[in-house]
Amino acid sequence: PAKPIYAGQLPAGLQTISNIIAVSSCKGGVGKSTVAVNLAYTLADMGARVGIFDADVYGPSLPTMVSPEKRILEMNAEKRTIIPTEYMGVKLVSFGFAGQGRAIMRGPMVSGVINQLLTTTEWPTSTPPRTLYSQPLAPPHWGVCAPSLHMSKPSQSRFPQLVHHRGHSHLLPDNLIPNLIAPSVPTHPSQHPHLRKMHFLNMGELDYLVIDMPPGTGDIQLTLCQVVPLTAAVIVTTPQKLAFIDVAKGVRMFSKLKVPCVAVVENMCHFDADGKRYYPFGRGSGSQVVQQFGIPHLFDLPIQPALSASGDSGMPEVVADPQGEVSRTFQELGVCV
Ligand code: ADP
């Protein structure tokens, strides 16, 4: 993917972050924050060092969805930087932790606040990286490294396996594993599309910053995308036709900014009751988006009371029920960002 555009020099606060993922929606209430928070905790569970930046200044949800001990951001007066708060190993910054309550602000002020929070935050982390990703492995490397890869303990789940190589650990999807167990078959990486999706982390202080974007595609969003060198975008939507039109706007905005949209999450797509599956908002919008815009991944999230309850309880669903259906969906999403 082409390099993202950002105005001027990259702000110091962002220089130490390896991957910045925007979770975006074109309307409020579709589950964007739910996806952002659960994605972040899934990445952390995979071993990455993760931060969440809640850029939804008008309606910050992060303070409800997680329950850090310190509910206020600290300042480093000397360096004039903001120290994120933390919950279960994930660094958190939200206007909701700034101690000022809900905002009544005009657009330019909102952009100013977002920029300040984002660019003056120090994202150091005391946790050493466990999972390292980096640039896609170049084809010549594959033949060289395959024989020396060795596996961590096999897992029962569909969750990718950790593979260690030369002091680095890599996450590999299951379909690669047979070749690694039989290293005498150093196949070409083109036969393994997932291999190209590996990124080494360990390049900065934070492996992933997940940005919960303000809903919509207006000036605030555009400014944010221009200041921040986004690695990828995930778009959250609901299945209605109307939502499709909005998603198209979002996809266009990111494509203008040369930010790849790696996945669409179609939230609240169905619910199960009395042994039957219901599609309250209809079907098919998500796959239409994927086909029309060539987005590589589509994920369905059903309406689940547990997801809503965990959102209100301050413990993300993927933390509360790591083996559940929701967690498995997020693990797949985690691999593709
Ligand atoms: P947004 O960030 O788009 O405004 P939220 O993530 O805050 O949306 O979600 C809005 C509300 O819907 C929250 O109360 C959340 O818990 C709930 N919710 C989101 N997704 C689901 C789902 N799949 N099943 C049940 N409730 C959900």
Ligand 1 center to residue 157 CA distance, Å? Answer: 27
Q: Are residues 88 and 190 in the same domain?
A: no
More confident: 1 or 286: 286
92 lines ligand 1 (CB under 6 A): no
Residue count of the chain, please give it.
337
Given a cut of 80, is residue 166 above it in pLDDT? no
28 lines ligand 1 (CB under 6 A): yes
How many angstroms separate the CA atoms of 290 and 297, rounded?
7
What's the confidence (pLDDT) of residue 24?
94
Q: Domain range for residue 42?
A: 12-128+203-336
32 lines ligand 1 (CB under 6 A): yes
Cβ atoms < 10 Å from Cβ of 105: 14
Q: Decide which of 171, 197, 223 is a domain's last residue.
A: 197
Tell me whether residue 134 is in a domain.
no
Q: Are residues 106 and 237 in the same domain?
A: yes
Q: Are residues 91 and 27 in the same domain?
A: yes
Number of domains in the chain: 2
| CA-closest residue to ligand 1 atom 17 | 308
117 contact partners, CB below 8 Å, separation of at least 6: 53, 55, 82, 93, 95, 98
248 exposure class (CB count in 10 Å sphere: 0-12, 13-18, 19+): middle
- Quote helix, strand, coil % in the chain, to nearest 5: 35, 20, 45
CATH code of 61's domain: 3.40.50.300
Task: Give yes or no for a contact between 212 and 55, defined as CB atoms under 8 angstroms apart.
Answer: yes
Q: Are residues 145 and 32 in the same domain?
A: no
| CA-closest residue to ligand 1 atom 4 | 29
What's the confidence (pLDDT) of residue 60?
87
Q: Are residues 45 and 85 in the same domain?
A: yes
Q: Are residues 181 and 208 in the same domain?
A: no
How many angstroms separate the CA atoms of 129 and 47, rounded?
7
Q: Are residues 193 and 244 in the same domain?
A: no
Cα→Cα distances 311→76, 100, 269, Å: 30, 22, 18
239 lines ligand 1 (CB under 6 A): no
More confident: 166 or 67: 67
Task: Please report, rounded to a whole number, the percentage of residues in the chain having pLDDT higher than 90.
Answer: 28
What's the confidence (pLDDT) of residue 177?
40
Mean pLDDT, rounded, for 296-303: 90
